[in-house]
Amino acid sequence: MSGFKTAQQRGVTRLEKDSQIIQGEKLRLRDQKWFQRLLVWGLLVAVWEILGVILGPFFLPRISQVFLSMFAAFTNGDLTTLASSLRQMFLGFGLAAVVGIPIGLIMGRSRWAEYVLGIYVNALFVTSLEALLPFIIILVGTDFYFRVVVVFLFAIFYIIINTAAGVRAIDPNLFETAAAFCTPRLKLFIKIILPAALPYVIAGLRLGLGHAVKGMVIAELWVVVDTGRRLVDLGFARKLPEYFALALWIVLFGALANQILLSFQKRLTPWGSEIAGFTGSRKK
Amino acid sequence: MDPVTRKDTWISQSRKNRIAKWGLRVASFLVFLAVWQWYGAKPEMFAVAPPSQVFPAFYEAMLSGELPKAAAGTLYTMAVGYLLAVVVGIVVGFGIAVSVWARNTIEPIVNAAYSAPMALLIPILGVYIGLEFQGRLFLVMVWAVFVIIVNTAAGVRETPPSLMEMAQSFGLNPWSIYRKVIFPSALPYILVGLRLGAGRALRGAVTAEILMSTTNLGKFLIDAGSTFNMPKLLAGIMLVILLGLVIIQGAEYLEQRILSWRRV
Amino acid sequence: GERVADSALRVAITSPTQPSYVETIYGPVHYGAEFGLNITADDFRIFDSHATATQTVLAGQADIVGGSFVSHLIIRERGLDFKMFCPFVNMDDFVMAGRNGVTEVEQLFDPDTRVAIDSPGGASGVILNAMLQAAGTGKTIADLPNVRILESSALRSSVFVADGVDATVIHLTQFKQAAEQVSDAVIITTLYKDVPVFIKEAFAAPASWLEENLELAASFCASVLKAARELPRDFDLFVSAVNEFVGVPPSEAMLRETFDLISQYEFWPKNGDLEPEAITQMAKMAVLSGVLEEVPDPTEVVDRRPINRALELLGGRVE
Amino acid sequence: MSYVEVRNISKVFQTQQENLPALENISFTMEQHGFYCLIGHSGCGKSTLLRIIDGLTEPTTGEVLISAKVTNRPGFDRGMVFQHFNLLPWRAVLGNVEFGLENRRMSKRERRERAMHYIHMVGLDGFEHYYPSQLSGGMQQRVGLARALAIEPEILLMDEPFGSLDAQTRETMQTELMRIWSIEKRTVLFVTHDIEEAIFLSDRVIVMGQRPGRIVDIIDVDFPRPRDENLRNLAGFTEMRGRVWKTLKCAASEAKASAAKR
Amino acid sequence: MSYVEVRNISKVFQTQQENLPALENISFTMEQHGFYCLIGHSGCGKSTLLRIIDGLTEPTTGEVLISAKVTNRPGFDRGMVFQHFNLLPWRAVLGNVEFGLENRRMSKRERRERAMHYIHMVGLDGFEHYYPSQLSGGMQQRVGLARALAIEPEILLMDEPFGSLDAQTRETMQTELMRIWSIEKRTVLFVTHDIEEAIFLSDRVIVMGQRPGRIVDIIDVDFPRPRDENLRNLAGFTEMRGRVWKTLKCAASEAKASAAKR
Ligand SMILES: Nc1ncnc2c1ncn2[C@@H]1O[C@H](COP(=O)(O)OP(=O)(O)OP(=O)(O)O)[C@@H](O)[C@H]1O
Ligand SMILES: Nc1ncnc2c1ncn2[C@@H]1O[C@H](COP(=O)(O)OP(=O)(O)OP(=O)(O)O)[C@@H](O)[C@H]1O
Ligand SMILES: [Mg+2]
Ligand SMILES: [Mg+2]
C-alpha cells in the first residue's frame, strides 16, 4: 500500500500535493528528477558505448563519437540545413493544426460531417501516404510547397481524429448548460467544445507533430533535398556517427517541440483538471 | 437539433439516419470515383491509373490468389506485432502515468521516439534483429506501440481523482484500483490508442515488407512499382486501404460496444 | 558554340549523385556554356524513384529524365513514348560478394547458399543476371533456390556482414568495408571486369519533346560526354567534381580506387555508345529477369540524332 | 390567457431495458410575476419537467406556451439554475457567471460589473478567480445561481438551487431571492424538496407524484408578503405543511402499490 | 480513552492565488456507537475534515487516532458517503453498490444479496441495472449511501448524504439510518446543513465556523431515543435549534468581519 500511496501522492492523484508543498518536505535524492535521469540515461548511454565497442563501427558507432558529431553539426552546416527543413515542417504542421482542429471539432459534433468525411479521414489515415507522393508532386511540384503539403498530410489526420474523439467525450451537461444560456452554434465551438476537448486536441497535436517530423524526413528523402539528402548521402557513405548525430538532432528537435506543446497544455488548462498536472514534468 | 440533448428523439430517427448516412457516403464515393477516372485518364497522369484500369487489375489479382495470399501474410505479421504492441504499450503507458521514475526517465524517451522517423532505424535494425519475420515484427511493434503508450498514459492521468479517492476510501488495494477504477476510466483513451495503433500496425507491416525484407503485400507493391505497373500498384494500395478501413471500422464498432455505458 | 536557348533545361535524376556518375551533373554545369547551354545545379531535380521522376516529366515539371536503362525500357512498354537520347553510365562497381566458403558462381545455386538481391525489377537483379550470363551458367536469378529480397544495397551489405546471407550484389566500396569485418569475404564476380557489355543509365525524354528540342538535347548530351572524356583523365579534376556535387565525399583513397575503375573499365560512355547490339543484349537480360515482356526494336527505343549531333559538336569520336 | 402554459406534457425515456414513462399528462399554468414551487419525491421528474420548459428536452407529447406562443428551445426569457451546477471547469467563478451574459449585447465592462454584482449577491466575493474544482459544493451551487440571475431573465427556472446550501446561507439566499423577486418581479418556477421552503417562498405549490411523474395537488399559498420566520407560527402554515406532507405520502404509497402490481 | 480522537487538525490549501487555511486546530472526540453531526456553513471545511478522518487527505498538522492508533489511510473500519456521490459511470446501480464489497472475502451470491438488500433499503428496487447517468440526483445519492452502508463499517462518515433527497425520502432514510444504527451500533459522523436534522439524529452536534474552519460549539443532545416527529414540540428542541442557529450566525458575521479586515 505504501508504494502505491507514494505513486498517488506524486502522480496519479493530486490529493496530497498541497500538504507536501506546505510542509516543504525535501525530496530524497532518489526522488529528484535530475538524479533519476542521470542514472537511467547514463546507463543507456553506457550500454550503447559498450555495444559500440563490441560491435565495431560498421554496425554501431560509439555514442561518444555520435556526440562529437553532434557538436560538429554546429559548424559543418548540418544544423543550418536541418533548420531550413524544420521551418517548412512547422509551416505544414501549423497549417494542419489550423485546418485539422476545426474539422475535428465539426466531425465530433455533427453526425453529418462524420458521415461524409469520416470514411475518407480514416482511409487516408491508414494509407501509406508515400503512395500519394507522386500525385502531390504533380499538383504542387517538388519545391517548398511539396514538403509543406506532405508534412500537412502526415500530421492532419491525427489532429482530426483526436479532436473528434475529444468532442465526443464531452460531458453532455455542458452542452445543456450552453443551450440553456442560448449560446449560438458558432460560439459553442469556442466556448465549450474547444476548451472541453483541449486535452484531446493537444494529444492530437502531439501525435501530429511526431508525424510532421516523419513527413519532413520522408518528403526530403523522396526528392532528396536538405536534411533528407544529407541523410541519404551519409548513409550511402556509411558515415554512421554523422548519420546518427543528425538523426538524433531531428529527434531532439521533435522532442523539444513536443515539450513546448506540453507546456502550452499546462498554460491553457490552469483550471486544475488532472491532466494539467500530469502530462510531463511537474514542478516540485 | 442538438444531438446530445435531443438524444431520445435521435433514437426514433435512427432508421432515417442510417439511410441518409449511407446515401451520403455512397454519393460522395461516386463523386470521388468520377473525379479519379477523369483525372487518371489524362495521359500525363502516368502515376495515377484510372479506376477503369485499377478495378480490373484488382479483380484479377484477387482471383489469381496473388493478392489474398500476400494480404494473409501481411495480416499475420501485423496481428502478431500488434498484439505485442498492445501488451507493451498498455504496460508502459500505465507505468509512465503511475511511476515518477518512469515518467521522469522513460517518458521523454517515448516522446522523442514517437517523433523519430522509425524508418531511420531500418539500416541498423536488420543487423541485430534479423530482417525476416522477427525484424518485421519488431518494426510493426515500434510503429504501433508509441501511440498506444501515449494514449494509455493520458487516459490513466485523466482518471478523476474523486473516483480514486472513493475507491481508496472503500479500501481497495492498488491492484483493484487499477483494475476497477483507473482501467475502466482510462478505457476510452486506451481504445482510441488501440484503434490508432491498429491502423499504424498495418502501415508498419507494409512498410517493413517494402523497406526490409520484401515479401507479401510489400513485394506485391514493389514488383508493381518497379515495373511501372500502375494499375496493379494502385490495386495493391487499394487493398491496403481497404484492410485498414475494415480494421479501423471494426475497432470503432468494438469501441462503441465496449463503451456502451457512455451512450445511455 | 552558338547559343541554343536561354530557356533552362530541367532535368530529373532518379537517384542521388555518387562519384561513379558525377559527370552527369558536372558536365552540363561546367561545360554547358560551351555548347550554348544555360544550366546550373539547381536545374537538376533529384529523386529516389524512377516512377516519380518520370511522372515529373509527364506533368511538365521537368524536361528530361536520367535513370536506369532498363526502367526506360519498361516505361516504353507501358505505352509512354519516351526515347533515350544520351547514355551517361555504362558500367558500375557492382560485385558479387561471397562468404562462408561461397567463392564460385555455381555455388549460388546450392540450396544452402543464401543469396540477397533486390526484387526482380531492381537494378541488382538485372546486374546479377548479366553476371550469370557472362559466367556462362545459362541460368537466371529465377533459378536461385534460396534468395532474400532486400531492396537497398546498404541493407544487403550490412546483412552480409551480419552473416544473414552468404552472397549478395553490392558496390565495391561497400564490399571493401564489409571485408574489414568479415575475414573470409571474397569477390565472386564483378560487373565491370566480367560482364562485357552493359548500359546502366541513360537520359530519356518524351519523343515529342525530342522532336522539338533536338539541338537542346544534343548540347546537353555533348556536355555530359565531354565530362565523361575529361574527368577520367585527371584525378584532381575528378576529386573537385566529387567535392562539388556529392553530398558526402568518400575518402581520397577510396576515390582513387573508384577513379581507377572508371578510367580502366570505361564506366562512362565517351562516344555516346547506345549501339543496337548492346541495347538488344540489355533488353534480353531484362526479359530474363522477368521485368520486360519482349525485346523491343533497338531503333525504336533510342533517338540517335542528338548523340550524333553531340559527337559533331565534340569534334568526333575518341578512342 | 396565462403567461406560461404547460399543456399535457408527457415524457417517455427509452432505455436499453425498457420504456420509462417519466412524466404523464402534466398541465398547469403560471401567471406573470408569480412564484411557483414544484415539490415531489426524488426521481418523480421535476428536473425533466424543468428541462422541457427551458426547451432543453423535447417532450414526447404536449407543449409549452409562453405568452401564448409555443416554445421549444431555450431563450433569454428563461434562466436555469441546474441541480448539478454544470459549471465550466475551465473557467473561474467570474468567467462562469459572465458566461450567460456573453451572448447578450453588452460592453465588457458592463458584463463584468453585472457579474460582480451577482457574485456579491450570492456571497462569493473574493472567490472570483477560483476554479470550480477549488470550491466547496455549496459554493459551486451559488455560482450556478449567480449565473442564472445575472442574465436577468423573465422566467427563472431553479432546480433545487439551495439544495447544497447550509441553513444559514440558505435563509440568506431565500430572503435575497424574495427581495429580487419583489423588486424585479420575475416569474419563478422553483424545485425543492423542502416543504417549508416551498410554502415560505411561493404563491402556489405544485405537488408531484411519481412513477410516472404527474401532478397530484396544486395548493395556493395566500400568506401575506413579505414573509418571515414568524410564518411558521401561523395556524394555516402547519395545516398546509400537513396537507402537502400527506399528499406526498399518499402519492408515494400509491406508486409503491402500482410498482408492486407490475 | 475515546474511540476516535481528532487532534489539532489544521489544513492549508495552496492555490495559485494564495494559501487558503481551510481548517484550523480542530479537536474533538467520538465515543464508540455515538452519533455525531457536523454542521456549518458552506465552505467551512466539513468535507475536508471528513476526508482527513477517512485518510484520503493528509492534514497539514495534527492527527486522527482510532482506538488510540494514529490512522492516516482509509480502512475497512470506515465507510464514506460522498457529497458528490462519486459513482462509477460505467457501472450500473448494482455494480456500484457491490463495488465496496469486492475486496471482502465473500461469495458472489452473498455479495449480490447484500447489495440488493441495501438497494432495497434506499428504495431503488427496480433500478439495479440503470447507469448513474439515467438516475435523478437524489437516486444517485442513494446509490452512494447504499454503497457505504453495504460494507457495514464500524465508522460511517456521511457527507450530506441526504442533501439531494426530497423531504419524504429524507425522512424515511433518517428513520432507516436510526434503525440500522440502533441495531448495529455504528459510530456515525454525519455532515448536514439542516439544524433540525442534526438535532433529530445526533447525540452531539459539532458546530463549525468558517474562514478558517474551526469548531465554535459542541452541543450534547440528550433527547431520549427513539425520537420521532414529536421531538419538534419539545421545549428543549426549539431552544437548542435557536442556540445552533445563533452560533452559526455569529460565526458567519465574525468571519465576514475578519474577511473585511484582510
Ligand atoms: N436520460 C435519461 N434516460 C433515462 N431515464 C432518465 C433520464 N433522465 C431521467 N430519467 C429518469 O426519469 C425519472 C425522473 O428524473 P428527474 O431527474 O427528472 O427526477 P427529479 O424529480 O429531478 O429527481 P431528484 O429530486 O432526485 O433530482 C427518473 O426515474 C430517472 O431515472
Ligand atoms: N483542492 C482544493 N484546493 C483549494 N481549495 C480547496 C480545495 N478543496 C477545498 N478547498 C477550499 O476549502 C474550503 C472548504 O471546502 P469543503 O469542501 O471542505 O467545504 P464544506 O464545508 O464541505 O462545504 P459545503 O457544505 O459547501 O460542501 C473551501 O473554501 C474550498 O474553497
Ligand atoms: Mg432533479
Ligand atoms: Mg462539502
Give D7-24 pLDDT, tens digit per residue: 888 888 876 667 778 888
Residue A234 pLDDT more than 70? yes
Give D198-256 pLDDT, tens digit per residue: 888 888 999 888 778 888 888 888 888 778 777 777 778 888 888 888 888 777 666 65
Q: Of A119-123, A169-173, A268-272, D205-209, which gets the smallest average pLDDT?
A: A268-272
- Mapped onto helix, strand or coil, the DSSP state of residue A30 is helix
* Final residue before a domain boundary, out of B12, B27, B47: B47
Give me the pLDDT at residue A274, please.
36
Q: What's B255's domain CATH number?
A: 1.10.3720.10
Q: Is residue A116 assigned to a domain?
A: yes
Residue A183: count of CB within 10 angstroms of its CB = 21
The percent of residues in chain A predicted with pLDDT above 90, rounded, is: 8
User: CA E134, A161, A247 angle in degrees (round to 5)?
Assistant: 140
Residue bearing the CA closest to ligand 1, atom 29: D43
What is the number of structural domains in chain B?
Answer: 2
Higher confidence at residue D116 or residue A279? D116
The answer on B133 and B13 residing in a single domain is: no
Higher confidence at residue C277 or residue B122? C277
Q: Report the amino acid identity of residue A54.
A: I
- Mapped onto helix, strand or coil, the DSSP state of residue B68 is helix
Give me the pLDDT at residue C28, please.
92
The answer on B37 and B146 residing in a single domain is: no
The answer on B55 and B23 residing in a single domain is: no
A27 is in which domain, residue-wise?
Answer: 2-55
Q: Which regions of B26-74 does DSSP assign to beta strands (E)?
A: none
The answer on B40 and B19 residing in a single domain is: yes
Q: Which residues surround ligand 3, an ion (CB under 5 A)?
A: D 47, 83; E 136-137
The answer on A75 and A45 residing in a single domain is: no
ipTM metric: 0.73
Q: What's A78's domain CATH number?
A: 1.10.3720.10
The predicted model gives A37-56 an average pLDDT of: 86
* Final residue before a domain boundary, out of A15, A37, A55: A55
The answer on B213 and B151 residing in a single domain is: yes
Q: Is residue A283 assigned to a domain?
A: no
Give me the pLDDT at residue B12, please.
41
The answer on A109 and A27 residing in a single domain is: no
Give me the pLDDT at residue C3, please.
45
Chains B and A touch (3+ CB pairs under 8 A): yes
Give me the pLDDT at residue C133, please.
87
What's the mean per-residue pLDDT of chain C? 87
Q: Mind giving me the DSSP string for D27-61? A: EEEE-TT-EEEEEE-TTSSHHHHHHHHHTSS--SE
Q: pLDDT class for A236, splitting at 50, 70, 90?
A: confident
The predicted model gives E69-90 an average pLDDT of: 83
Which of A214, D82, E216, A259 lies closest to B109 in space, CA to CA? A259
Chains C and A touch (3+ CB pairs under 8 A): yes
Under 8 Å CB pairs connecting chains B and D tally to 14
The percent of residues in chain D predicted with pLDDT above 90, rounded, is: 8
The answer on B118 and B23 residing in a single domain is: no
Residue D154 pLDDT more than 60? yes
Give C240-256 pLDDT, tens digit per residue: 999 998 888 888 888 89
The answer on A127 and A90 residing in a single domain is: yes
Give me the pLDDT at residue D14, please.
77
**Is ligand 2 within 6 A of the CB of residue E84?**
no
Find the B162 Cα to ligand 4 centroid distance in Å. 13
Instruction: Using the structure block, give the residue that is written with the C-alpha cell 541554343.
Output: C4
The answer on B22 and B9 residing in a single domain is: yes
- Mapped onto helix, strand or coil, the DSSP state of residue B16 is helix
The answer on B55 and B42 residing in a single domain is: no
Give C161-207 pLDDT, tens digit per residue: 888 889 999 988 889 888 888 889 999 999 988 888 888 899 999 99
Residue A3 pLDDT more than 60? no
Residue C8 pLDDT more than 70? yes
Q: Is residue A284 assigned to a domain?
A: no
Give the chain E residue whose CA is nearest to the CA of B185: E90
The answer on A142 and A28 residing in a single domain is: no
Q: Of A19-28, C36-45, D213-222, which gets the smallest average pLDDT?
A: A19-28
Give me the pLDDT at residue A4, please.
34
Q: Is residue A46 assigned to a domain?
A: yes
Give me the pLDDT at residue E94, please.
93
Nearest by CB to D58, from B9, B260, B264: name it. Answer: B9
Neighboring chain A residues of C181 at a CB cutoff of 8 Å: 56, 58
Residue C297 pLDDT more than 80? yes
The predicted model gives B229-246 an average pLDDT of: 87
Which of C150, C157, C143 lies closest to C119 in space, CA to CA? C150
Residue E93 pLDDT more than 90? yes
* C123-137, D222-236, E166-180: which is most confident: C123-137
The predicted model gives E153-172 an average pLDDT of: 80
B199 is in which domain, residue-wise?
Answer: 51-263
The answer on A202 and A152 residing in a single domain is: yes
Instruction: Compute the distance between CA of residue A256 and CA of residue D120 in angstroms, rounded to an integer.
Output: 45
Q: Which of E136, E145, E164 is the best mutation target for the ligand 1 pocket, counting ligand atoms within 8 Å of the beta carbon and taking the most? A: E136
The H or E element that residue D227 is part of is: none
What's the mean per-residue pLDDT of chain B? 81
- Give backbone dihedrals phi and psi of D159, rounded to 5 degrees, phi first: -100, 95
The answer on B87 and B23 residing in a single domain is: no
Q: How far is CA A56 from CA A51, A61, C100, C103, E207, in A?
A: 8, 7, 20, 26, 77
Q: Of A135-139, D138-142, E114-118, which gets the smallest average pLDDT?
A: A135-139
Give me the pLDDT at residue E113, please.
92
Higher confidence at residue A168 or residue B76? B76
The answer on A142 and A159 residing in a single domain is: yes
Q: In angstroms, what separates the C-alpha of B206 from chain C's closest C-alpha?
A: 14
Cis before B161 (ω within 30): no
The answer on A48 and A131 residing in a single domain is: no
The answer on A74 and A27 residing in a single domain is: no
The answer on A80 and A190 residing in a single domain is: yes
A259-276 residues labelled b (16+ CB within 10 A) or e (exposed):
bebbeebbebbebbbbbb
- Which residues is C169 bridged to in the sheet? C96
In chain B, alpha helices (H) = 7-12, 14-40, 51-63, 66-98, 100-115, 122-129, 133-157, 161-169, 174-177, 183-211, 216-226, 230-258
Residue D184: count of CB within 10 angstroms of its CB = 12
* CB burial of residue A46 (10 Å; 0-12, 13-18, 19+): exposed
Give me the pLDDT at residue D258, please.
57
What is the number of structural domains in chain A?
Answer: 2
The H or E element that residue C111 is part of is: none
Query: Does the distance separating the beta carbons of B170 and E151 come in below 8 Å?
Result: yes
The answer on B85 and B32 residing in a single domain is: no
The H or E element that residue D89 is part of is: none
The answer on A128 and A21 residing in a single domain is: no
The predicted model gives E208-230 an average pLDDT of: 82
The answer on A158 and A265 residing in a single domain is: yes
Residue bearing the CA closest to ligand 2, atom 27: D137
Q: Is residue A130 assigned to a domain?
A: yes
Residues 6+ apart with CB under 8 A from B10: B3, B17
The answer on B171 and B137 residing in a single domain is: yes
Residue A254 pLDDT more than 90? no
Q: pLDDT class for C319, splitting at 50, 70, 90?
A: low
Instruction: Compute the distance between CA of residue B200 and CA of residue B118 in angstroms, rounded to an integer.
Output: 12
Instruction: Compute the distance between CA of residue D129 and CA of residue D93 in angstroms, rounded to an integer.
Output: 6
The predicted model gives C6-29 an average pLDDT of: 84
Residue A217 pLDDT more than 80? yes
The percent of residues in chain C predicted with pLDDT above 70, rounded, is: 97
The predicted model gives A149-157 an average pLDDT of: 91
Which of residues 206 through 245 in chain B touch D, CB cutoff 8 A?
none
Neighboring chain D residues of A193 at a CB cutoff of 8 Å: none
The answer on B109 and B230 residing in a single domain is: yes
Q: Of A200-209, B135-144, E10-19, which gets the smallest average pLDDT?
A: E10-19
C250 reaches A (C-beta below 8 A): yes
D167 reaches E (C-beta below 8 A): yes
E58 reaches A (C-beta below 8 A): yes
Q: In angstroms, what separates the C-alpha of E164 from chain A's closest C-alpha?
A: 18
The answer on A193 and A134 residing in a single domain is: yes
Give D36-58 pLDDT, tens digit per residue: 999 988 778 888 899 899 888 88
Q: pLDDT class for A79, splitting at 50, 70, 90?
A: confident
What's the mean per-residue pLDDT of chain E? 83
